[in-house]
Amino acid sequence: MRLTARVEVNMRTAEVASRGDGFAQDFANQMAELAAGLARENVAPGRGPGPHPHRPTSEHIDKGTLSESVKVRALAMGFLKTAHVFTDLESGLYLEMGWTNPHSGNHWRYPWLMPALELARMQWAEIARSTGRRWFSETGAPYRGRQAVDAALSATWQPEVG
């Protein structure tokens, strides 16, 4: 089971379509890289996304395996340019979605991926501006003077089977 967060940039939006596929994919990639960095911080050893799930007397030692497992993958899906932030570790899914202790009935949940995605999404305008400046200066493409991209930008997360 894989836990995946997906950033999508809609190519049918006029501002994005005028800049091209390369810009849209780069924008999605930049958003995903920011979200991945924030997610890694959320699960850094000893930090965690809230109260650490291990009691002081626990034999578990957080070695940063989950933080190191967070990856980014670009994927074009028709008119959507996407970038996925994901981990293949099952423990990442359990932390995000939660689990119930069968003995006590207590439900524990420590979301770490969706909060990171939401923080990254709040910075989309600045990332769109910087991506646009970089994209048009590096490619020599005509720059139309608009600094913002009013794109249909969405961010979702879901468990994947596979």
The pLDDT tens digits of the residues spanning 143-157 come to 444 444 444 445 555
- How many domains in the chain? 1
The tokens for 158 are 């879901």
pLDDT of residue 152: 41
> What average pLDDT does the structure give for the chain?
76
**Which residue would you say has higher pLDDT here, 157 or 12?**
12
How distant, in Å, are the alpha carbons of 13, 25, 30, 137 from that of 141? 19, 16, 19, 7
Least confident of 6-15, 63-72, 106-115, 120-129: 6-15
pLDDT of residue 146: 44
- Residue-number span of the structural domain to which 90 is assigned: 2-160
Structure confidence at residue 70 as a pLDDT band (50, 70, 90): very high
- Across residues 98-119, what is the average pLDDT? 85
Beta bridge partners of 99: 108
Please write the tens of the pLDDT for every residue from 39-63: 999 988 877 655 555 556 666 677 8
Asked if residues 143 and 15 have their Cβ atoms less than 8 Å apart, the reply is no
The tokens for 39 are 């997610």
Structure confidence at residue 68 as a pLDDT band (50, 70, 90): very high
Model pTM score: 0.76
